[in-house]
Amino acid sequence: MKRLSISRRTLLRGTGAAVALPLLDAMLPALTATAATVAAPEQLKRIGYVYIPMGYNPAEWTPQGETLDQLPSSLQPLSALKEHVTVLTNMDLQNAYPGSHATSNSAFLSAARAKRTESSDYYNGITVDQVAAKHIGGATQLPSLELSMDLLSTVGQCDNGYACVYQNSLSWSSPTQPLPSEAHPRIVFESLFGEGGTPAQRQAALKKRASLLDSVTSEIKRIKNRVGSADRNKIDGYLESIREVERRIQRAEDNVLDNPLPDLDRPVGVPTAYADHAKLMFDLQLLAFQGDITRVVSFQLAREASTRTYPEIGVSDPHHPVTHHGNNPEKLEKIAKINRFHVSLFADFLQQMHEIPEAGGSLLDHSVYMYGSGMGDPDKHDHSNLPIVVAGGASGGLSGGRHLRFDQPTPLSNLHLTLLNKVGVPLETFADSTGKIDSLFDPVNL
């Protein structure tokens, strides 16, 4: 049986644009893709991390049993995807103590003890996403993608003697090299699809036309003439998703004149509503994974010590003061509402990944995401019993629909090590890890 063969690295090139294609049947070995995926677990292709700040309300988060048959309020948005999700309880970050917002953020992906300093002699540890990027990021346009929702404008000392960089940067490529994250959808969009040059040069090239896709029209037609109808439908769907994201970015930028009092923590030209901004940032991750532009993502869904309010869900109080709850039932209820709102945005993203077919499964099956916080009880600023969720990974043998409650406090670095191994990083230890979490997988797939 003959089949046209197209390289996975094929790009649609135009003036200032380089658009990657989604995984097509024409990019897979004939007659083998589905069978190989279904027959046995494989190395996962992508890994992502989503950070939520300032802990949680455990009473409305923690499942009662060993299954997810009855999800508590804060996790209810994951109901439709519970077979793809595992909740882990009693994980901790001992190196985040003595307890602060800064170390909650800095230790989440590093599991390292940050140097307490207010100056530029900061020192943390390489983060797990960057370990993954060094091993699996070399084959993609971007080794990794660092995203956030807020401007990183604060410098100096931010929290109890710790430099602001510890709260600003979730990812570190070395103990002394924090990586800046990007909150502006337009800049992220251009980094994914703009071809070469400085950011200013890419933006100038993009402004010469109504849409990034306009300059690759002839390339699109050429590729579609070479593939079957199923692949043509995949291409059309992916390109329409790119175009819709670009439209939404443009609408947000056009609305700047109608928003004379912008949020000082939010970049100018992003959607006014928090949820709209977050969904755009998740959609950009989706496009990056579909086009194999990157295989490693970290996303700070909100910042530690954030004073953002959430009137759309009935929480008009600033987030940070609410988390100092003193066991006040009203404040605890508001924390649970914020937790649920953040989870709902993540759930929408997972649903989209689940609905995109890929190689005998879905985009979600071939990817794994870790979602959670570096803080447990925000009133105590502790780093024990963290809220942690793992999603996806079915093609790698990750078994969902479960609640794993550890009998003893377990280092979060054990989970980091486990997931690194699943994306092909052959480490025996990571930070303060004491072993891998074999129970995260289906026993037949160990």
- DSSP-derived secondary structure for 262-315: --TTS-TTS-SSHHHHHHHHHHHHHHHHHTTS-SEEEEESS-TT----BGGGTB
pLDDT at 30: 46
Q: What share of the chain is helix, strand, coil (3-state, %, to 5)?
A: 40, 15, 45
pLDDT at 202: 57
Q: Tell me the sheet residues that pair with 405.
A: 89
Backbone φ and ψ for 198, nearest 5 degrees, come out as: -75, 165
**For the chain, percent of residues with pLDDT exceeding 90:** 71
| Residue 441: band (very low, low, confident or very high) from pLDDT cuts 50, 70, 90 | confident
Contacting residues for 275 by C-beta, under 8 A, at least 6 apart: 312, 341, 345
pLDDT digits (tens, 9 = 90+) for 303-326: 999 999 999 999 999 999 999 999
- Which residue type is seen at 253? E
Q: How many helices (H) and strands (E) does the chain have?
A: 12, 15
Look-up of token digits 């995401």? 369
pLDDT at 198: 63
Check pLDDT > 70 for residue 445. no
pLDDT at 31: 38
| Residue 213: band (very low, low, confident or very high) from pLDDT cuts 50, 70, 90 | confident
Closest CA relative to residue 61, chosen from 405, 415, 295, 441: 405
pLDDT at 16: 74
Largest CA distance in the chain: 69
pLDDT digits (tens, 9 = 90+) for 224-268: 988 999 999 999 999 999 999 999 998 888 876 555 444 445 566
Span of 54-68, 104-118, 353-367, 432-446 with lowest mean pLDDT: 432-446
| Residue 208: band (very low, low, confident or very high) from pLDDT cuts 50, 70, 90 | low
Note whether 362 and 353 are within 8 A (CB): yes
| For residues 267-296, average pLDDT | 93
- Which residue type is seen at 45? K
Check pLDDT > 90 for residue 33. no
pLDDT at 130: 98
Domain ranges in the chain?
8-38+202-269, 41-183+270-445
pLDDT at 301: 97
| Residue 443: band (very low, low, confident or very high) from pLDDT cuts 50, 70, 90 | low
Say if strands 145-148 and 361-362 run parallel, antiparallel, or are unpaired.
unpaired
Q: Which CATH superfamily is domain 41-183+270-445 in?
A: Alkaline Phosphatase, subunit A (3.40.720.10)
Check pLDDT > 70 for residue 195. no
Span of 35-44, 204-213, 269-278 with lowest mean pLDDT: 35-44
Q: Left (φ > 0), alpha (ψ -120 to 50) or beta: where does 402 sit?
A: beta
Query: What is d(CA 399, CA 90) in angstroms, rounded to the nearest whole number?
Result: 19
Note whether 344 and 74 are within 8 A (CB): no
What average pLDDT is seen over the chain? 89
| Residue 360: band (very low, low, confident or very high) from pLDDT cuts 50, 70, 90 | confident
Check pLDDT > 50 for residue 164. yes
pLDDT at 39: 40
| Residue 4: band (very low, low, confident or very high) from pLDDT cuts 50, 70, 90 | low
Which element (helix H / strand E) includes 361? strand 361-362
Query: What is d(CA 177, CA 114) in angstroms, rounded to the nearest whole number?
Result: 12
Whether this prediction's pTM lies above 0.85 is answered by yes
Check pLDDT > 60 for residue 189. yes
